[in-house]
């Protein structure tokens, strides 16, 4: 089961779905049908959530089911070298984090670290789940690498 959010950039969902080769259901936010998100939270046995969404991390964590955080980081590239960081929201967020009062900063990394420290989540691809079969680890790492590649190319 796959769902995007109101902030998912154009083309990302299509790029992801091109790589999915198993039966799946995809809900695209805002396409007029009822949003099954609450049902997905209830029915899923495991969640992979992109790490930038505080609300999705909190909602998935509240289910007490396994939660894997997908790091959408930009790798070793300095932030100002990436074109997508010059859109209004990323730029205003970076400026607020740098110059805003400490008590008002919205630092997703602190929430991510709290989830990891409390063992309510793991990073996708870093011993994400205790699995006996090595092929599961390889498959999970390959999937994470493919999704990162798709996000860089979109």
The domain total for the chain is 1
Lowest mean pLDDT, pick from 3-7, 63-67, 146-150:
146-150
| pLDDT tops 90 at residue 60 | yes
pLDDT at 138 over 70: no
pLDDT for 81 beyond 80: no
**Contact (Cβ atoms closer than 8 angstroms) between residue 108 and residue 52:** yes
pTM above 0.95, yes or no: no
Q: What is the pLDDT of residue 137?
A: 58
Print the domain residue range for 110. Answer: 2-153
Sign of CA dihedral 116, 145, 90, 63: negative
Q: How is 34-69 classified by DSSP, letter by letter? A: PP-HHHHHHH-S-EEEETT-HHHHHHHHTTTS-EEE
Region 6-25 average pLDDT:
88
pLDDT tens-digit series, residues 25-46: 898 988 877 888 888 899 889 9
Given a cut of 90, whether residue 59 has pLDDT beyond it is: yes
How much is the pLDDT for 106? Answer: 66
What per-residue confidence (pLDDT) applies to 136? 54
Q: What is the pLDDT of residues 89-136, one digit of tens each?
A: 667 766 777 777 766 666 778 888 999 999 999 998 856 664 444 445
Which two structure tokens, joined as six digits, stand for 138? 């390889």
Mean pLDDT of 11-27: 91
According to the model, what pLDDT value does residue 64 have?
A: 92
């Amino acid at each position: 089961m796959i769902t995007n959010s109101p902030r998912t950039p154009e083309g990302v969902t299509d790029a992801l779905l091109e790589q999915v080769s198993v039966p799946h259901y995809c809900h695209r936010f805002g396409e007029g049908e009822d949003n099954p998100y609450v049902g997905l939270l209830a029915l899923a046995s495991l969640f992979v959530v992109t790490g930038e969404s505080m609300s999705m991390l909190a909602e998935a964590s509240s289910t007490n089911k396994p939660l894997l955080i997908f790091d959408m980081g930009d790798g070793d590239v300095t932030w100002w070298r990436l074109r997508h960081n010059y859109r209004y929201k990323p730029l205003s967020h970076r400026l607020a984090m740098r110059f805003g009062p400490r008590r008002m900063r919205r630092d997703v990394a602190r929430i991510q670290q709290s989830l990891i420290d409390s063992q309510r989540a793991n990073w996708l691809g870093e011993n994400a789940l205790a699995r006996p079969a090595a092929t599961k680890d390889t498959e999970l790492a390959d999937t994470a690498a493919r999704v990162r590649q798709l996000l860089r190319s979109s």
